[in-house]
Structure 1
Amino acid sequence: MTGDQLFLFALFGVVFAFFVWGRFRYDLVAFTALLVAVMAGHVDAASAFEGFGHPAVVIIALVLVVSRGLVNSGAVELIARVVIAPDRSMPVHIAVMSFVGAALSAVINNVAALALLMPLDLEAAAKAKRAASLTLMPLSFATILGGMITLIGTPPNIVIAQYRARALGEPFSMFDFTPVGLAVAVAGIAFVALFGWRLIPERERAKAVRGGEDAGLYVAEARVKEKSRSIGKAVQELYPLANDNDITIVGLVRRGKRLPGFSRDEVLARGDFLVLEGDPKSIETFMGAAELDFSGSEKHDGGVAGPSLTLVEAIVTDNSRIAGRSARDLRLQYRHGVTLLGVSRSGRRFRERVRNLKIRPGDVLLLLGPRDRIADVAAWLNVLPLEEGRTQLLQRGKATAAIAAFAIAIMLSVLGLVSLDIALGLCVVAYVLMGLLGGTEIYEAVDWRVIVLLGSLIPLGLALEESGGTRLIAETVVANTHGAPIWVVLLVLMVITMTLSDFLNNVATTLIAAPIGLGVAEAFGVNPDPFLIGVAVAASCAFLTPIGHKNNTIIMGPGGYAFGDYWRMGIFLELIVLAVSIPVILLVWPL
């Protein structure tokens, strides 16, 4: 072992130790390691930051941005809403949610897919009066499995494809991962739906209560716009839709006056205002489903479907400018372009119109306006925005156009007319022109920690490979599997990769394991593609811990899971992945 190899092995050992410890952010650890390698002369200073321009880094960033655009268009929600049916049996519910989650994860970032479906799963659990822990983990695992189906479904596939381009001259294409990924996803989902969920302990969801049972409910107004599907219906005809979205219709405003009672039998006409009670996301979703606009929407381009509009929850203090006054007194909408959509007052209802209501200290306001302006207005009002109290308004009327733009981009890449990064870039430009994405939102959509991690580890991985370090590891694997069938060698490589991925970021795992897989294939004189595909599959399979994949971390709080809950189902799922993937890999990618 040379001095260069010793140094780089030691450096990676320290990096992995810090990753597992979790005391410091993994992107800062990787960036620091890169600088250490540069100062020690093991990475050329002139090429130290070339990893940030690597195609894999660009593609991952663009996939995240495109995912945000699809979410903003409501395209994903249209698919997701059909899966809610609390009267389904547990296996059927898990199967439906899992297949939808896997399908979404194949075309958008799997973290985004889980973020969209998790509230629906929690809602279904609440309506069916069952523990959410029984269904959240299967959903998380399904979105991870679905990411393996296409090139853009998960970062390890992107990294492996670009590594193949550098090492062998041509990357994997969009659907090269599909045969193996689809087989693994179907087998994995069948397991979690039929048997896996029974291995999960029932745990109560951790509840975050803000001042009482109904403290998070707002009273808001929604305008019946021109050509709305609600025109001509009695108010009570909207009750089933309201119930599906956890909304209560508490009244009707017509010609500026609140009608008596709940106005159940009143027939809705253009310009009427429904008075709604619910949480911000439920209000937004109901308005989209019933084709309603917010009060004063004519002052915003496109109404509820206007670009980059955000709901923000903010607490009124004694020193707030709006305390003791109304939104109408401050001319909030006309002077600042921000609408007071709703007010939460400790669960109390009121008969005044929202814009005329005298605001009190302790009220929580639901403000709506352009993303780039609403923060300044909140500061001017001297109200305290809640850290997690933001809800993006979906532009459901643009869902078809958003799907078409994405499909065209993928088709251009599949046909070889443009590279994948250029195709996705064109899709992002189209979304900006449609108003689905704003300038600030593009940068917010990117997980810069992953970008810094990947950009930092790529030069380190190249340095280890050039020093002969990865070849040394490959030779060790070969020596310890001498005389064994080739499928055993592939199994050993995948088990090693899976174990790393359960404790490390899957991008980091892929960058280390890919050269090892190539080295093992070269040592045996066989086709390297089965080993590269095996690394991609194994790096995505982080089912034993809550830290191996972001989706597992996201569900930990809402599901009330303990650290040791994941392996109960995860260990069997990883064994199934190995049992299914290895035969399919060797069939599709013969040696």
Structure 2
Amino acid sequence: MNPQLLWVLFLLATAVALFILNRPRMDVVALLVIVALPLSGVLSVSEALAGFADPSVILIAALFVIGEGLVRTGVAYRIGEWLAQKAGNDENRLLVLLMLAVAGLGSVMSSTGVVAIFIPVVLSVAGKLRVSPARLMMPLSFAGLISGMLTLVATPPNMVVHSELVREGEPGFTFFSFTPIGLLILAFGVAYMLVARRWLGANEGAGGNATQRRSLSDLIRDYQLAGRERRLRIRPGSKLIGVTLGEVQLRSQRGTNVIAIERLASFRMKILSPSAEVVLQAGDVLLVDLFQPDIDLLALYHEYGLEPLSLHGDYFTERAHEVGMAEVMLPPESRLLGKSVLELAFRSQYGLNVVGLRRAGEALVEGLLEAKLKVGDTLLVVGTWKAIRQLQSSGRDFLVLNLPAEVDEAVPAASQAPHALFALGLMVVLMVSGVVPNVVAALIACLLMGACRCIDMDSAYRAIHWPSLVLIVGMLPFALALQKTGGIALAVQGLVAALGGAGPYLILASLFLLTALIGLFISNTATAVLMAPVAIATAKVLGAEPEPFAMIVALAASAAFMTPISSPVNTLVLGPGGYRFGDFVKVGVPFTLLVMIVSVLLVPWLLPLH
């Protein structure tokens, strides 16, 4: 070994040790690597910094933005709601559906993109089911990696190995050559994660982290709102049609507060803020609060031509993506002290309705609108999340307390959901067809989302998880350093010399292990480039068919389960799952061995050696 190779191996071992200790942070370790390699003369500065221009890094950043666009338009949460609805309260069913959905999508598009899109979905569903995200994030990443074993175009290593076979005069693989093996590995993966997730995080239950932050349900209970909500449709012929909400005066005359208005527009339901200027239409659905308990509902329905509709959940929580709540406290210097709720004109000034008042910790149920406000009173306001956020910077007369947990699921661009889906669909088509490189397809989708107002620039920059990108950029120079110093070539030569006379199954297992180990430190695409010629040459020496040897390399390149840095997919879930380096080792190593056994036994059966 030359001195430079020894130095690179020392740096590699040191970085891995620091990753295991988790001190300092992984992205800091990556920056130290970027500094150490050029200082030692192994790489030039431009070579060490080349990761910042790597297409995969730009692709990952773009996919973070696309994922945020799907969140802001409500698409991601609708998928989460579908998963939660189908799973019910069964965490096992949720895990199975999640892994199947991710693997299916990842078989025809970038697995990194799929995982980036599903991360907010998993966080949302985990919160609703009160399950630790750690129990679902690693199954998410594993399903993304397994998706690369399902089709020829699922991951670059498959296509790299296929191209090498074609260059050697072989027919190569078909689109579905990998599918039988990938499906079996997916089945084993789902079964394995149903057991292994117990090593990752305890079920939070009712006393876990999910309850540390107040929710809409807590506010509904504290202000005694349950049972006051109604959802009423305006019938054709109603006297409300063509009248503004201000002219109706339902609040002052009927003790009925209009919280929001649902209106069908452009084939989708929109939520309108109940300003006094809104002109009511036939078919509008009014979300109302009955703050006077003695209202004659039948008379109200008959007089105004209203039809009651069903409700799910308490006090419009089913509309929590668009309609929210916030507590407002009056400080001693507030000019609102001594005024009644009616005198505040909250709806006309801020677009929000006051539906609750607490004084000395007790909810005031009767006389809400006429009560004179005192120091320390807290008001509960209801309206769109946009109006609630604007209220936070509106003045010194009140303080907006901590917002409920559902604010994280607010959908500020719900009307742009069709545009977000179009951008996502176009990206998938471009990636599958190969008309443009994947990174260009992702950037086109980002630009479309920005042009269609699915996401703004500030939100786009905040959506990118910069520590993950820095970690990837810092580890990429190791691939070039190992190549330049002869480390990869030395390992490959040793394999051929040591196993040239061994049986084919042992050689297949050795090729799988070596490919998987090299993939711990460099990208799986680079690993496939290095190992595919070795596998094909080994097959020719043994007088065997090259396809099974080449496929073993492709499968092993996707089996990057063992560390959080062995694949961008793992790196993406590292932070959201709250994992340490050792978590991936503990769960990933046994599963990698399982995948190796399945591959070594099944590949020669599907693709005969002779």
Which residue in the other structure is 2:219 paired with? 217
* Residues 259-315 of structure 1: CA deviation (Å, up to 9, x unaligned): 4269887759899999x9999xx9675256xxxx65xxxxxxxxxxxxxxxx79788
* Residues 157-209 of structure 1: CA deviation (Å, up to 9, x unaligned): 86858988999999x9999976654442233225555x777999975545245
Residue 49 of structure 1, CA deviation:
2.0
Residue 64 of structure 1, CA deviation:
2.0
Distance 2:204 2:12 in 1: 39
Residue 468 of structure 1, CA deviation:
0.8
What is the 5 A alignment of 1:292-441? 294=323, 348=363, 352=368, 360=376, 368-369=385-386, 390-393=408-411, 395-441=413-459
Distance 1:320 1:178 in 2: 69
Residue 424 of structure 1, CA deviation:
1.4
| Identity across the alignment (%) | 19
**Amino acid in structure 2 at the alignment position of 1:32:** L
Pick from 116, 125, 129 the counterpart of residue 120 of structure 1: 125
Residue 22 of structure 1, CA deviation:
0.5
**Amino acid in structure 1 at the alignment position of 2:219:** L
Segment of structure 1 superposing worse, 564-573 or 487-496: 564-573
**Amino acid in structure 1 at the alignment position of 2:447:** V
Q: Is the 8 A contact 1:458 1:511 kept in 2?
A: no
Q: Is the 8 A contact 1:114 1:140 kept in 2?
A: yes
**Amino acid in structure 2 at the alignment position of 1:116:** V
Residue 317 of structure 1, CA deviation:
8.8
Which residue in the other structure is 2:551 paired with? 530
Which residue in the other structure is 1:577 paired with? 595
Distance 1:484 1:88 in 2: 52
Which residue in the other structure is 1:148 paired with? 145
Q: Is the 8 A contact 2:386 2:412 kept in 1?
A: no
What is the 5 A alignment of 1:74-223? 74-83=74-83, 84=85, 92=93, 94-100=95-101, 102-103=103-104, 108-110=113-115, 112-121=117-126, 123-124=128-129, 132=131, 139-148=136-145, 181-190=182-191, 192=193, 204-205=204-205, 207-208=208-209, 209-210=211-212, 216-217=218-219, 222-223=259-260
Q: Is the 8 A contact 2:20 2:581 kept in 1?
A: no
* Residues 381-409 of structure 1: CA deviation (Å, up to 9, x unaligned): 76576797644316455444432332222
Distance 2:160 2:380 in 1: 51
* Residues 411-432 of structure 1: CA deviation (Å, up to 9, x unaligned): 2333332222111111111111
Aligned residue for 1:82, secondary structure, equals helix
Which residue in the other structure is 1:246 paired with? none
* Residues 238-273 of structure 1: CA deviation (Å, up to 9, x unaligned): xxxxxxxxxxxxx9348xxx4426988775989999
Which residue in the other structure is 1:303 paired with? none
TM-score (norm. length: structure 2): 0.64
Residue 582 of structure 1, CA deviation:
4.6
Residue 539 of structure 1, CA deviation:
0.9
Distance 2:24 2:295 in 1: 54
What is the 5 A alignment of 1:4-43? 4-43=4-43
The root-mean-square deviation of aligned C-alpha atoms, in Å, is: 5.7
Distance 2:390 2:215 in 1: 32
Residue 497 of structure 1, CA deviation:
6.7
Unaligned runs of 5+ in 1: 127-131, 232-250, 295-310
Distance 2:344 2:522 in 1: 53
Q: Is the 8 A contact 1:98 1:143 kept in 2?
A: yes
The 1:516/1:446 distance shift into structure 2, 3 A limit, reads same
The 1:186/1:497 distance shift into structure 2, 3 A limit, reads same
Which residue in the other structure is 1:443 paired with? 461
The 1:8/1:429 distance shift into structure 2, 3 A limit, reads same
Q: Is the 8 A contact 2:329 2:400 kept in 1?
A: yes
Distance 1:387 1:563 in 2: 33
Aligned length: 521
Residue 465 of structure 1, CA deviation:
0.9
What is the 5 A alignment of 1:215-254? 216-217=218-219, 222-227=259-264, 252-253=288-289
Which residue in the other structure is 1:260 paired with? 293
Tell me whether 1:286 sits opposite 2:319 in the alignment.
Answer: yes
**Amino acid in structure 2 at the alignment position of 1:148:** L
Distance 1:199 1:19 in 2: 20
Residue 439 of structure 1, CA deviation:
0.6
* Residues 216-251 of structure 1: CA deviation (Å, up to 9, x unaligned): 4356974123349999xxxxxxxxxxxxxxxxxxx9
**Amino acid in structure 1 at the alignment position of 2:185:** V
Distance 2:595 2:340 in 1: 59
Distance 1:3 1:39 in 2: 15
Unaligned runs of 5+ in 2: 168-172, 226-257, 271-286, 540-545
Q: Is the 8 A contact 1:314 1:365 kept in 2?
A: yes
**Larger Cα Rg: Structure 1 or Structure 2?**
2
Q: Is the 8 A contact 1:338 1:374 kept in 2?
A: no
Aligned residue for 1:6, secondary structure, equals helix
Distance 2:99 2:354 in 1: 35
Distance 2:478 2:419 in 1: 42
Distance 2:507 2:391 in 1: 57
